[in-house]
């Protein structure tokens, strides 16, 4: 357990920081649903082989995975603000390259820009950890949950900006990437108001904390990472294919944007009460509920390709991700010491986004190359969830059955 000396009465600073991070999640975070809505469609229009349509999304997540450990080290040494500025810089560079690639019809350049976008995605992943930095133990799950709830606004803003800019330029999707550039430049100003102390450089005789391998051998940390990995990877697997499936089944691109909006709303609306549920029932029960809801999402998707199936499945997918991922994040935040913070957070995001990279890459292959129709591809995507849900469920049951552990 982390020793947290912050008292509930001293949470005023934490609440101010949470407000800034909520705004960052809402404004800067809107670029991610924008890019995830159009990335696969743009990739499909540029790639010579439809099986690589979702490769741009994979490169974003791969960039996030590769940058997770360096980003954590930067924040540990120079502070959260520096890391977040680095993230928006990467997001700006990525959007500029992608915009230029669209004007040149260059798939390799588009992939390069997508990789740079992963720098922003990596930094955004630390918003939830930054929320806990100055929070008391009692406020911590609520702080994490509130920051995740900031995605509620991004869920509305992002896909609707795609719809608004879809026909704004002669080159398809170009207007959306120009908008992403503006979002990064303007949104980065928020971090000027962030007040999270830079961690003190450790003294030679200060505790070093556990190594990465020792951290991974901690049962609570291991299960938290597995559950976060499965929750995020499966959400990404299905969401990445959704625009391709919706358009492939004969619906308009605007409808794909509306479905993604509903999905991202479902990802973040529960955040208003997820922290309270964790405080009352514990992380393990909330994570278990999330995994069950993810399974239900796949079941609904397999029942057909009518619009209501897409909407209901993607809403359930969002809620399941919220419970599973926030629950796992809270479990992880309470299972390490202060001196281990940067090491364990970077390790967590490297593993989680490594698996999300594989999921997004597999998504396009399953969707476009595992059957003769969009319906068959969509079924393959959702059936692929089963073994991973079984893995996370088994890991959680194993942890629950360990009598020596506290109930987090």
Look up residue 139 and give its two tokens.
């406020």
Is residue 382 within 8 Å of 305, Cβ to Cβ? no
Spans of all domains in the chain: 12-196+212-400
Is residue 80 within 8 Å of 124, Cβ to Cβ? no
Residue 115: φ, ψ to 5°: -60, -45
Predicted local confidence at residue 104, as pLDDT: 94
Q: Taking the model in full, what pTM does it have? A: 0.73
Is residue 127 within 8 Å of 80, Cβ to Cβ? no
Predicted local confidence at residue 2, as pLDDT: 41
Look up residue 299 and give its two tokens.
């079941």
Predicted local confidence at residue 231, as pLDDT: 95
Over residues 283-302, the pLDDT tens digits come to 999 999 999 999 999 999 99
Residue corresponding to tokens 């004007």: 103
CATH superfamily for 12-196+212-400 is MFS general substrate transporter like domains (1.20.1250.20)
Predicted local confidence at residue 215, as pLDDT: 83
Cβ partners under 8 Å of residue 330, min gap 6: 140, 141, 144, 275, 278, 283, 408
Predicted local confidence at residue 6, as pLDDT: 56
CA distance 258 to 218: 42
Predicted local confidence at residue 232, as pLDDT: 92
Look up residue 379 and give its two tokens.
């079924």
| Mean pLDDT by groups of 10 residues along the chain of 408 residues | 50 86 93 86 84 84 86 88 96 96 94 95 88 79 81 81 82 92 95 84 68 85 94 91 88 82 85 85 94 96 92 96 92 78 80 83 82 86 94 94 60
CA distance 283 to 268: 17
Cβ partners under 8 Å of residue 92, min gap 6: 181, 184, 185
């Amino acid at each position: 357990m982390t020793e947290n000396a912050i008292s509930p009465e001293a949470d005023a600073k934490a609440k101010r920081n949470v407000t800034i991070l909520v705004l960052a999640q809402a404004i800067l975070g809107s670029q991610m649903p924008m890019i995830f809505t159009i990335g696969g469609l743009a990739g499909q229009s540029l790639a010579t082989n439809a099986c690589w349509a979702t490769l741009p999304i994979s490169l974003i997540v791969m960039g996030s995975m590769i940058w997770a450990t360096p980003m954590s080290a930067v924040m540990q040494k120079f502070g959260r603000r520096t890391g977040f500025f680095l993230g928006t810089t990467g997001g700006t560079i990525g959007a500029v390259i992608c915009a230029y690639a669209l004007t040149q019809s260059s798939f390799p350049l588009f992939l390069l820009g997508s990789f740079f976008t992963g720098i922003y995605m990596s930094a955004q992943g630390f918003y939830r950890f930054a929320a806990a930095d100055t929070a008391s133990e009692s406020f911590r799950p609520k702080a994490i949950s509130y920051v995740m709830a900031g995605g509620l606004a991004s869920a509305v803003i992002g896909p609707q900006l795609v719809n608004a800019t879809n026909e704004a330029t002669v080159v398809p999707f170009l207007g959306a990437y120009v908008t992403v550039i503006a979002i990064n430049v303007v949104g980065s100003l928020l971090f000027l108001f962030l007040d999270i102390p830079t961690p003190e450089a450790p003294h030679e005789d200060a505790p070093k904390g556990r190594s990465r391998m020792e951290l991974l051998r901690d049962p609570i940390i291991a299960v938290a990472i597995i559950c976060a990995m499965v929750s995020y990877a499966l959400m990404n697997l299905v969401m990445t294919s959704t625009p391709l499936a919706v358009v492939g089944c004969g619906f308009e691109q605007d409808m794909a944007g509306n479905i993604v909006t509903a999905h991202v709303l479902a990802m973040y609306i529960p955040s208003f009460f997820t922290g309270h549920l964790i405080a009352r029932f514990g992380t393990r029960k909330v994570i278990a509920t999330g995994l069950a809801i993810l399974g239900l999402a796949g079941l609904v998707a397999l029942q057909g390709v009518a619009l209501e199936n897409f909407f209901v499945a993607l809403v359930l997918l969002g809620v399941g991700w919220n419970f599973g991922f926030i629950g796992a994040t809270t479990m992880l935040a309470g299972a390490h010491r202060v001196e281990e913070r940067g090491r364990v957070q970077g390790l967590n995001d490297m593993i989680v986004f490594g698996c999300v990279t594989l999921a997004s890459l597999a998504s396009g292959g399953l969707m476009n190359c595992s059957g003769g129709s969009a319906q068959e591809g969509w079924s393959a995507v959702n059936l692929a969830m089963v073994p991973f849900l079984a893995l996370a469920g088994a890991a959680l049951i194993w942890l629950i059955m360990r009598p020596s552990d506290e109930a987090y």
